[in-house]
Amino acid sequence: MFETETTPQSRIAGAAALLADIRRGRRAPIPGLPEALKPRTIAEAEAIQVATYAALGWAIAGWKVGRTLHQPIAAPLPNVALDPVAEVPLHLPPGTAMELEVALRLRQGLDAAQLAALQPADLPELADLVLLFEFVETRFAAGHPAGELEKLADCVSNGSCVFGPATGAWTWPDVETLAMRLTVDGIEVARREGAHRAMPLEALIGAWRDRCMALGHLPQAGEVITLGSQTGMLPVPAAGGTLVGEMTGRGDLTVRVAPLGS
């Protein structure tokens, strides 16, 4: 039985326990958090993220940055679901969606003073630009869209991520204007050209820095900051297939997926 009192502490603990159980496979996805467990603020939703990972014994290995209720946010990605691309096919659950993204992968860790002083202009010297596939899995039942704060509490539906190698020296203009293409078994399913969807990006990097500082989290070498989908969220074919994400002038990232649920 989950706690149903309406104090912030009980909402955070109860929602985290419920979301952790769904991630473990002990419970089916739900239409939404029970009313007594719904976060009331961005801060509560972020606290649920941390409490869920603590319940699962997961560490933070990366971040999704974006906006919730028009506010810049940074949601943690777990160490158990963030990997470099490999030759073996991925095994994903039915209903998984995919997003092709551009991400930054830190080449070095940051101490407290470096983190506090960090500005977006510093990142080309500290991080590699990589292509990344995010595979999206919601803890909420299909046909019952959750509210924005519920989605944030669930780490914006993170499932797993696969990233490619460094794409070479970069500057912010390389990220702010993109030409990207996504194919499945050689068939183009999405294309994006023009300004990055999440502009302005400076505020998102600031939100990531400030979230790390608030948690006392010192970013480590290898952590990833993914900047959001450029080709939209699309279903992974039930039969699986070969996914290829391309960025003009930056190469491509190929990921093989086994039939979903196999």
Asked if residues 139 and 29 have their Cβ atoms less than 8 Å apart, the reply is yes
pLDDT band, residue 5 (cuts 50/70/90)? low
Do you know the residue count of the chain? Answer: 262
- Measured CA to CA, the distance from residue 260 to residue 235 in angstroms comes to 11
Please determine, for residue 15, whether its predicted confidence score (pLDDT) is greater than 90. yes
- Asked, for residue 218, whether it belongs to a domain, the answer is yes
Portion of the chain with pLDDT greater than 70, in percent: 98
Beta bridge pairs of residue 247: 180, 251
Residue 37 maps to a domain: no
Domain count across the chain: 1
Per-residue model confidence (pLDDT) at position 143: 84
Report yes or no on 8 lying in a domain.
no
Look at residue 243 and tell me if it is in a domain.
yes
Residue 165: Cβ within 10 Å count: 13
- In tens, the pLDDT along 97-129 reads 999 999 999 999 999 999 999 999 999 999 999
* pLDDT tens digits, one per residue of 154-204: 999 999 999 999 999 999 999 999 999 999 999 999 999 999 999 999 999
Do residues 78 and 60 make contact, with C-beta atoms less than 8 angstroms apart?
A: yes
Q: Which CATH number covers residue 235?
A: 3.90.850.10
Residue 66's pLDDT band, with cuts at 50, 70 and 90, is very high
**Residue 39: inside a domain, yes or no?**
no
Backbone angles phi, psi at 89, to 5 degrees: -65, 145
- Does 79 reside within a domain? yes
* Domain membership of residue 65 as a residue range: 59-257
Residue 234 belongs to a domain: yes
Query: Looking at the domain assignment, is residue 173 inside a domain?
Result: yes
